[in-house]
Structure formats: structure tokens, C-alpha cells
Amino acid sequence: MDIKKEIAELNQELIDLRRDFHKHPELGFEEFRTSEIIANYLKECNLEVKNIAKTGVVGLLKGSEPGFTIMLRADIDALPVQEKNDISYKSIYEGKMHACGHDGHTAMLLVAAKVLSKHRNEIKGNIKFIFQPNEEDAGAEIMINEGVLENPKVDAALGLHLWSPIESGKIGIGNGPIMASSHYFKLTIKGKGGHGGAPHLSIDPINCGMHVMQAVQAIQTREVDALAPTIITFCKLQAGSSPIIIPEQLEVEGSIRCLHEGFEEVKQRFERIIRCTCEAHQAEYALEIKCGNILLNNDTIMAERVKVVAMEVVGPRNITQSNINVMLGEDFAEFAARVPSAFYFLGVGNKEKNTNYPHHHPFFNIDEDVLPIGVEMHIRGALEYLNRK
């Protein structure tokens, strides 16, 4: 099997797929067009295909001999972002954009499936190609609940993410925690409204909220080990209707992110500060906390396998293992919590091509020259795991 040659022969198809997905972005659980294209493509590769989790797709490749089952995953949803790129394949939908690279993820995995399907006689075991909807908001758990890890049982999983902070063509891979858990909170502080000129007759929820936000910073700087990265951010605040009226309540929303296993302890400290501060200001409160993503923790053995494959694909000089851990969340963590897994980054950052904008930015774009690398990583990663001695 001449992998590089076969991928090169499909390079234009790879780019066309990516640009088509980019031009027609669909939000989570609305990926109907995307899902149909994926399913039809996999059927043409003679894979067993089924729909799952509303708009998700699973393609199963059975090798010529029995063996383990590995899962390769791509996410397919877009974001509610208005694209500002001036390109021929710019999003045609107002307020929707592939601003995170999922269009590239989908295209790379489809082409990898096509190449691998031609060589099923050389494969021991099975490969599940998973196209996940709604990665931005917990699509993985729904796929798991609907049995994506069963029939056949998945033994290991691999996922990759196109990554603009890393230089084009380089691969970032590490052991252990690599992407943070993310929990989203909504805090409502209830006071007593009144006239702005007579604050002593009121209980000011804004004043109380400011003290809460200030006090919470002590968790990150004084109550959590500096070697256990923790970020608490307040990103939305709503209160009041007039400059002369003290409002009845204040609503604050934000997130708690941990690159370690100690979220529950951080949560308890967070709630303690809110409770004590509100008591001190004679205010009441209501707190809601929702899990966005759990901690993404790479299995050491699987991560080492990715490194071995990357050495072959891009060479040792293009592998980075430092400064790749991030406080952003990733839904692949749900798979990694259940089967040995590794998640890694493929750099698309190229200043000359203007592909170094941050993810979720209206000018985000990817360096398409790296797409064949992602395809090869998928192919070699699956073969290395299944055909190992």
C-alpha cells in the first residue's frame, strides 16, 4: 500500500469536500445536508452505514481477519459566527460558519475511509468511522448512549483537531490531560430594589455581585495549586433598567475550567464564596452549573502510538510535545473516558496564508496543504493499532 500516493491522487477530492462543507455550514443537530453527503460517500466505499444521534453517521469497515476495533472520529457541526473571509467557498448561510476546522475534519476522515476501504483485505479487525454532530454542546454522550461504542465493541479511539496556534504541518501530541474540563454557570443574586438616591433602603445585588467576582479570583491565586491550572471567568452580566433604580436582581454567567481532576473541589470553593458573600450583603442567590466538557485525558500508550505514527508522517522535527495543553474543552473527552484514546493537534497556522486566526474567529480559515497529512495520520494510526504484533 503506497499511502502517500493514494492520498495524493485524491487531493482535489479532499479539497472539494472540505470547501463544500465550508460553504454549507450547519449548526449542531441541524447537519442534515452534511450527514446525507457523509452517508452516501461511505456507502460508495462499501461500508456498513447507519445514522445515530439525530444527524450523526457511523461507517463500519470490517477487515479480512478478526481482531480489535478502533474508532476514528470527526466532528461535523459549525458555529453561529458570521464569516468575514473573502473566499470563493465562503459560507452562504447568514450567521453560520465553519470557524473551528470541523469541515476539514470531516473531509479528512472521509478520504481516509475511502483509502482504507480499498485495503480491507490487509486489515485485521474493524474500523469505525464516527462523524459526530453537535460537538460544541455534548453530542458525544448522546452517541455513546445510543451504542456507538458497541457492536462491535470499540477497543480504542483516535481523534485529531486542525489547530491554528500550531505552525502548519506540525503535530502536537502529549500524554495525560490535554484539554480542560469546562463547566458553565449561571448565578442569580437577589436583592431588594429601590431608588438610586437611597441605597440604604435597598439590598444592591450589583454591589454584592462585584464582591463575589472579586472574591472568586482568590480561588485561582490562593486556594488551588498553581501546578493545577484553573480558570474561572465571568463573561455575561445583566442587571438594571435605569441609572436611578437599584434592580431587584443580577444575573451573571461564566465558566470554570480545570486542566486536572479536581473540579469538584473547585466547585465547592466557588459555592462557598458565593454563599458567604451573599450572606454578608443580606442577599439571596441561586446557582446553576452545567457540564460542558469533562477533562480530556490522553491514554499514555495510545499517545505514544500517535507519536510513532507522526514520526513516520512528518518526522521528529515537526512533532511538538510542549505548550500544547489548553484550557479549552473538547467533546472527544467522553470517548476518552470510556476507552483508551489519544487526541492530537495538526497545525494549520500560516501567517502568509492568513490561517493563523484563532478558532471561532470570523476570519478563521485553514491551510489546506496540511489536509493530506491528517488523512495519512488517520490511516497509519488505524493500521498501526490493528496490525500490531
For residue 360, say whether it is annotated as part of any ligand binding site: yes
| φ, ψ dihedrals at 46, nearest 5° | 60, 40
The mean pLDDT of 370-380, rounded to a whole number, is 98
Name the nearest CA neighbour of 268 among 225, 223, 235.
Answer: 223
Q: CB under 8 Å to 145, separation ≥6 — which residues?
A: none
pLDDT tens, position by position, 207-224: 999 999 999 999 999 999
- The three cell numbers of residue 282 are 443580606
pLDDT band at 172 (very low <50, low <70, confident <90, very high): very high
Per-residue confidence at 299, pLDDT binned at 50, 70, 90? Answer: very high
**136 assigned ligand-binding residue:** yes
Selection from 225, 186, 204 nearest residue 277 by Cα: 204
276 appears as a binding residue in the annotation: no
pLDDT at 1: 80
Confirm whether residue 248 is marked as ligand binding: no
Which residues are CB-neighbours of 227 under 8 A, at least 6 positions away? none
pLDDT of residue 389: 60
pTM of the model: 0.94
CATH 3.40.50.10860 at 181-293, yes or no: no
- The dihedral of CA 7, 10, 12, 18: what is its sign? negative
The answer to whether 24 is annotated as binding is no
**Mean pLDDT, residues 65-78:** 97
Give the C-alpha separation, 215 to 221, whole Å.
Answer: 11
- The percentage of residues in the chain with a pLDDT greater than 70, rounded to a whole number, is 100
How far, in Å, CA of 353 to CA of 45, rounded? 33
Task: Write down the domain spans for the chain.
Answer: 3-178+295-386, 181-293
CB atoms inside a 10 Å sphere around CB 77:
25
| Contact call for residues 71 and 157 (beta carbons, < 8 A) | yes
Average the pLDDT over each of 25-29, 133-137, 202-206, 282-286 and give the range with the smallest value.
133-137
pLDDT at position 137: 83
Which is higher by pLDDT, 87 or 389?
87
What is the CA 120 to chain-centroid distance, rounded?
30
Going by C-beta distance under 8 Å and a sequence separation of 6 or more, which residues neighbour residue 188? 249, 250, 251, 252, 285, 286, 287
Q: Which cell is 59 given?
A: 461507517
Is residue 170 predicted with pLDDT exceeding 90? yes
pLDDT at 138 over 90: no
Location of C-alpha cell 434592580:
247
CA distance 389 to 387: 6
Concatenating the DSSP letter of every residue in 85-105 gives ---TT---STT-B--SSHHHH
pLDDT of residue 259 exceeding 80: yes
Please compute the mean of the pLDDT values over residues 303-331 and round it to a whole number.
96
Mean pLDDT across the stretch 328-345?
Answer: 97
Query: Regarding the domain delimited by 3-178+295-386, which CATH topology (the fold level of the hierarchy) does it fall under?
Result: Aminopeptidase (3.40.630)
pLDDT band at 62 (very low <50, low <70, confident <90, very high): very high
Give percent above pLDDT 90 in the chain: 98
